[in-house]
Amino acid sequence: QKEVEQDPGPLSVPEGAIVSLNCTYSNSAFQYFMWYRQYSRKGPELLMYTYSSGNKEDGRFTAQVDKSSKYISLFIRDSQPSDSATYLCAMSAFQGAQKLVFGQGTRLTINP
Amino acid sequence: DAGVTQSPTHLIKTRGQQVTLRCSPKSGHDTVSWYQQALGQGPQFIFQYYEEEERQRGNFPDRFSGHQFPNYSSELNVNALLLGDSALYLCASNSPGYNRVAGGELFFGEGSRLTVL
């Protein structure tokens, strides 16, 4: 069993839709949870960073962490074609750790 | 302010050969790590370098080795290449942390795409 499981998709939705992306994990030592966005032929860029359980909102993006269920989510409201990318969840046991454990990535396409 | 830079961007090798990939961290960063991203997969941690020493290592064989230079730049070397080594190799860096684990945001380069034939 992988430490982090993420539905690889692909996921295709119309512009303006609400998108929900999810990851589950098995290692209870994970305390820091991240979502990265990776455009084609580019490196991952940090989108959201949360600590422990709870919600964090940044513009159209909301990250949720439920440590009791070992489940994290990213919601994208009013999705735009520019949001089309691969979204990777990542986790670590330590703040600012270099060693992150990533999910497989979900390829998202927003159709105009 | 230059971000994390990697070279070469693309390269093709044959089985059994050796490859060296290079990385310059973001300005102000002193810690570098390397990740392997196979097609359709998430990045996997290879190792981390700080103060010119390997500090952490993921589940990769000894064929994967690295080096960090006094200017914080780094190299990843892979010997005896296998077809399965074909992947995007990502370098990441972050700023100094209080206890070497509590650093800042991890910044990634655009990667070096290695194809092994």
Q: Does position A56 have pLDDT exceeding 80, yes or no?
A: yes
The pLDDT assigned to B100 comes to 45
Report the pLDDT value the prediction gives residue A37, as an integer from 0 to 100. Answer: 97
- Amino acid sitting at position A109: T
- Report pLDDT for A54: 86
pLDDT by 10s per residue, chain B, length 117: 679 999 999 999 999 999 999 999 999 888 999 999 999 999 999 999 988 999 889 999 999 999 999 999 999 999 999 999 999 999 999 876 544 444 467 899 999 999 999
3-state secondary structure of A82: helix
The amino acid at residue B87 is A
The residue of A34, A91, A98 whose CB has the most chain B CBs within 10 angstroms, and thus the best one to mutate to test that interface, is: A98
Identify the contact set of chain B against chain A, taking CB-CB distances under 8 A.
4, 31, 33, 40-45, 48, 55-56, 58, 90, 92, 94, 97, 101-111
Give the DSSP letter of residue B16.
T
Q: Which residues of A touch B102 (CB under 8 A)?
A: 94-96
Rg (CA), chain B: 14
By the 8 A CB rule, do A4 and A23 touch? yes
Across the range A38-53, mean pLDDT stands at: 90
Contact predicate A101/A34, CB 8 Å: no
pLDDT digits (tens, 9 = 90+) for B15-37: 999 999 999 999 988 899 999 99
| pLDDT tens for each residue of A7-34 | 878 999 999 999 999 999 999 999 989 9
**Strands ordered across the beta sheet of B74-78:** B5-7, B19-24, B74-78, B64-68
Chain B touched by A45 (CB under 8 Å): yes
Task: For chain A, state the CA radius of gyration.
Answer: 13
Distance linking the first and last C-alpha atoms of chain A: 37
Strands (DSSP E) found in chain A: 4-6, 11-14, 19-25, 32-38, 45-51, 54-58, 61-66, 71-76, 85-92, 101-102, 106-111
CB contact under 8 Å between A94 and B111, yes or no, is: no
